[in-house]
Structure 1
Amino acid sequence: LSQPALSKTLNELEQLTGTRLFDRGRLGAQLTLVGEQFLTHAVKVLDALNTAGQALNRKEEPASDIVRVGALPTAALGILPAVIGQFHKQQKHATLQVATMNNTMLLAGLKSGELDLGIGRMSDPELMSGLNYELLFLESLKLVVRPNHPLLHDTVTLSRVMEWPVVVSPKGTVPRQNAEALLQMQGCSLPAGCIETLSASLSRQLTVDYDYVWFVPSGAVKDDLRRGTLTALPVTSPGAGEPIGVLTRVDALLSSGAQTLLSAIRKSMPA
């Protein structure tokens, strides 16, 4: 949909429901609490329609295996590159479709049948209804820079770090909440003019090539830290870390390709 068509559709939906479903700001639209509640009902309706359509169009011979994966942007960067090669060794003719998205849309995509697997976080109980969750690892928040960043030749404090340009996730995301909690604990705040984006690839490129400081979940940069492409600043985030796991539907059997991918993801995790 084009932007005007999408805006028109959302406005019509709010008129039909008689309530505001989205908070609109300069970074886009975020679901309101009522919008989150409405989403759970909408997903059930879409799920029922999808099930009915599959029943009417079921064929004797199954189509070529397509595995549809939804992942948080940083989780996709941290997990999938290491497992896709192993997956295709066993499933040479399977098509792997990967989409990066926020956690709310990931859960909705699983429930509607648009996704086979999700790599994300647990959410509120009503949004997790009908889904399985399998913990993969706990990830902490890292502040990373390029290896020859001027900060590394100085005494590193969080207030000193905030004098440099920052790349951070948008408001409403868990990494952003963790970043703000860390800053608040030490009496700091994000600098004006920071880059807010969900794009892990853009964030990584800005950090590797320029003087940006990236607030990033540790799983997304573990290989860069190991290779020395990026360096973590000696700033410790509080808590044990955020759980990242695999999500599947309770009532749907995984295809052979999806099972192979899930197995490869499990094997890639540290013991």
Structure 2
Amino acid sequence: MSALDWYLQINLKARHLRLLVTIDTYRNLTQVADVTHVTVPAVSKSLAELERGLGLSLFSRTAQGLVPTPYGDCLIRHAREMLTILHQARDELKALSSGTEGKVHIGMLPASASVLLPQALSILKQRSPGTNVMVTEGTTALLLPELWQGHLDLVVGRLPPPDTLGSFQEKELLEEPVTLMTGRHHPLARRKTLAWSDLRPFPWILPPVGSILRDPLERALEAHDVPLTSNYIETLSIHVARAHLQISDFIAVMAGTPTGDTAQPLHTLPLSLPRLLRPAGVLWNRNRGLTPSAQLMVACLEEAAQRLQAGLGNAPRAASSSVKGNRLHASPEAT
């Protein structure tokens, strides 16, 4: 066994991991000493001992502070991952000792999971009141790196294109129709029949450039000779879109959005769009696996999808719930 192997396997402690991450965060020994409540010499001594034990220089001392060397960058990245795993183990042990069932950290993609996830959470709380959930809303670009690093257990929402995923496992849950929506007062809402050309004078509520829906939507409209006007609003917020449709003549594209909302009633335009998106589903990091609480959450998502499918009437059938176990693609940074 080499000296490096021996030190990593026998002598490396959690306090070393915390020290590395803290130094990387602040890049200044005085600030590190302040937040860790020790003296500057003590911090400097601990770092020197770690570097001596590894036989590697982890930080360069510069006028701008401590800067990680390539060795430091490598070890800091793994230190963050190991600390995340230790925190998860702590949370699970605390949950078991307190009689609760555990905690699930879920990333929710806006709009596409705004109906599915609340239904699943309701089912979860009926089955296991002691299983607690933390939900973080964000875009694919924000949530997939968090899932990859272990800060999230699951990401729920519209499944990204297959070639943009990293080492994630996915489960398709629900095919939802993509429809063109207006407020009930909209001039086109009073028309029994429509042609695509009737859409041309009106402004749009659009998903932002780079979002999953934007490019296929633009291609579908171009195929029907409906150029997007320069008068539009970009948002992923279903709440903003619904509210603005109530007071404007805008047109919005929505996936799986029910029209039977009595508080903010909407009208579905009778024009059929092709399948623009993949199904709604759930992703997790296959290299980390799922905790029992996360497995229960996935089961509740499946049940919620089945219930929602029953209410979609003539919409396409629910997607297969089988796990796409061999679907591995590029790294998550590509999203």
Aligned counterparts of 1:47 and 1:172: Cα–Cα separation in 2: 28
CA shift in 2, pair 1:186/1:251, >3 Å: same
Q: CA deviation at 1:104?
A: 2.6
**TM-score of the aligned structures, taking structure 1 as reference length:** 0.72
Assess if the C-alpha contact under 8 Å between 1:169 and 1:175 holds in 2: yes
Aligned counterparts of 1:90 and 1:110: Cα–Cα separation in 2: 25
Aligned counterparts of 1:168 and 1:61: Cα–Cα separation in 2: 41
Q: CA deviation at 1:185?
A: 0.4
Larger mean Cα displacement after TM superposition, 254-263 or 112-121:
254-263
Q: CA deviation at 1:157?
A: 2.6
Q: Structure 1: state its 5+ residue gaps.
A: 1-43
Aligned counterparts of 2:230 and 2:259: Cα–Cα separation in 1: 27
Assess if the C-alpha contact under 8 Å between 2:153 and 2:290 holds in 1: yes
Residue 137 of structure 1 aligns with which residue?
Answer: 174
Aligned counterparts, 1:51-130, within 5 A: 51-54=81-84, 58-59=89-90, 62-64=93-95, 65-119=102-156, 120-123=158-161, 125=163, 127-130=164-167
1:176 and 2:214 correspond: yes
Q: 1:249 aligns with which of 279, 285, 298?
A: 285
Q: CA deviation at 1:178?
A: 2.1
Residue 195 of structure 1 aligns with which residue?
Answer: 233
Aligned Cα RMSD in Å?
A: 2.9
Larger RCO, structures 1/2 (Cα 8 Å, 6+ apart): 1
Q: Could you report, residue by residue, the CA deviation over 1:140-193 in whole angstroms, capped at 9, with x for unpaired residues? A: 421012234221223523332232232110011121112201210011211222
Residue 161 of structure 1 aligns with which residue?
Answer: 199
**TM-score of the aligned structures, taking structure 2 as reference length:** 0.59
Residue 259 of structure 2 aligns with which residue?
Answer: 224
Secondary structure, in 3 states, of the residue corresponding to 1:215? strand
Secondary structure, in 3 states, of the residue corresponding to 2:115? helix
CA shift in 2, pair 1:197/1:240, >3 Å: closer
CA shift in 2, pair 1:152/1:60, >3 Å: closer
Aligned counterparts of 1:242 and 1:62: Cα–Cα separation in 2: 37
Residue 78 of structure 2 aligns with which residue?
Answer: 48
Percent identity between matched residues is 23
Q: CA deviation at 1:79?
A: 0.9
1:236 and 2:267 correspond: no
Partner AA of 1:48 in structure 2: H
- How many residues are aligned here? 225
Q: Could you report, residue by residue, the CA deviation over 1:195-228 in whole angstroms, capped at 9, with x for unpaired residues? A: 10121221122124543211122x2x0x335879
Larger mean Cα displacement after TM superposition, 110-119 or 77-86:
77-86
Assess if the C-alpha contact under 8 Å between 1:175 and 1:216 holds in 2: no
CA shift in 2, pair 1:61/1:80, >3 Å: closer
Q: CA deviation at 1:47?
A: 6.8
Aligned counterparts of 2:175 and 2:76: Cα–Cα separation in 1: 32
Q: 1:204 aligns with which of 228, 237, 242?
A: 242
Aligned counterparts of 1:235 and 1:45: Cα–Cα separation in 2: 55
Assess if the C-alpha contact under 8 Å between 1:70 and 1:118 holds in 2: yes
Partner AA of 2:267 in structure 1: T
**Whose radius of gyration is greater, 1 or 2?**
2
